[in-house]
Amino acid sequence: MKDMSAVNEARRAALASCSPLERGRQKDRSALLWLWRWGWSTSTTTDLAVTKQRGVVKRLVDQKMIEYHETEGYRDIYYPARLAILTKKGCDLLGETFDLSELKRPTIENVPTHQLRHDHAVQFWTAKKLREGVIKNFITPRELARKSTNGRKQPDAIWIMPDSSKMGVEIELTHKKAYEKSNMVTKMQRLLEAGTVDSIIIVTKSKAAAQAFQKLIWPGTRRTEWVLNDERKFVRTATEYEAPDWLIDKITIELLP
């Protein structure tokens, strides 16, 4: 896969010396690339990722590069009222600058509508940290899907930090049962031991969940392994895992505001 960090840094350097018209074109291409890499997004989150101003996505919609798709369901800060997805025209334009051969063209049929709220929260927080300069790049679920390994927790995304280290991102908006938290931490530990990421951040809306995760990663804490039985129910096994001393330094837990 192309080093997107190098691409982003080159784009920022080019923006500093180009004309206002060319800066607008660069922002357009950045918005198209954001949508390509995630598969879909929203106008607000895409604009946040590529510029300090609003209106980039609207302009591209007017130019038939992006199209809107209305959603169904309740609305909150993370559940989008409508999605923004690249059109064939937008893909063709982006393909003039970037190699699009590694991923399939995103379509509305491929959007996991059952987890829109969760997935949009991941996008929003990635865009926010990118805009704040906390991270310099990221790897999306679409890009991660090609490298998934059984037994290791697939992060919701990976953030590339300013020092080039990789931070796995886990956004938890819903209640997790005790066995789910235990299995989740076990898989995170395996992910860290494999060197896939250098650290992990868990972002949750629940103070109780944050405290539960903190206990599970505390040095010496023992976790039970849970597996699915023949009846498709999770049951406790005799296997236990102990949190190593280093785990608490590798996993950060934050509360959503």
- CA 83 to chain centroid, in Å, comes to 16
What pLDDT score does 145 carry?
81
**Tokens linked to 85:** 């997805």
Over residues 58-86, the mean pLDDT reads 90
Q: Per mean pLDDT, which range of 54-58, 91-95, 253-257 is the poorest?
A: 253-257
The CATH number of 148-257, from 3.40.1560, 1.20.120, 3.30.43, 3.30.160, is 3.40.1560
What pLDDT score does 233 carry?
81
Measured CA angle at 204 (ends 202, 210), to 5 deg? 80
- Using alpha carbons, select from 166, 162, 168 the residue that is nearest to residue 9: 162
Could you count the other beta carbons within 10 Å of the beta carbon of residue 73? 11
What pLDDT score does 65 carry?
96
What pLDDT score does 239 carry?
80
7: pLDDT strictly greater than 60? no
Give the sign of the dihedral formed by CA 83, CA 61, CA 141, CA 101. positive
57: pLDDT strictly greater than 80? yes
Stated pTM of the model: 0.85
Q: Kindly report the CATH number that applies to the domain delimited by 1-112.
A: 1.10.10.10
- Using alpha carbons, select from 67, 80, 77 the residue that is nearest to residue 108: 67
138-189 pLDDT tens trace:
999 999 886 555 445 589 999 999 999 999 999 998 888 888 899 899 989 9
- Using alpha carbons, select from 47, 90, 83, 87 the residue that is nearest to residue 68: 83
Distance CA 126, CA 200 (A): 14
58: pLDDT strictly greater than 90? yes
102-143 pLDDT tens trace:
899 999 999 998 899 999 999 999 999 999 999 999 999 999
- Using alpha carbons, select from 129, 106, 135 the residue that is nearest to residue 4: 135
10-51 pLDDT tens trace:
555 555 556 666 667 888 999 999 999 999 999 999 999 998
What residue spans define the domains of the chain? 1-112, 148-257
183-237 pLDDT tens trace:
899 989 999 999 999 999 999 988 999 999 999 999 999 988 888 887 788 878 7
What pLDDT score does 146 carry?
64
**Tokens linked to 137:** 């790049």
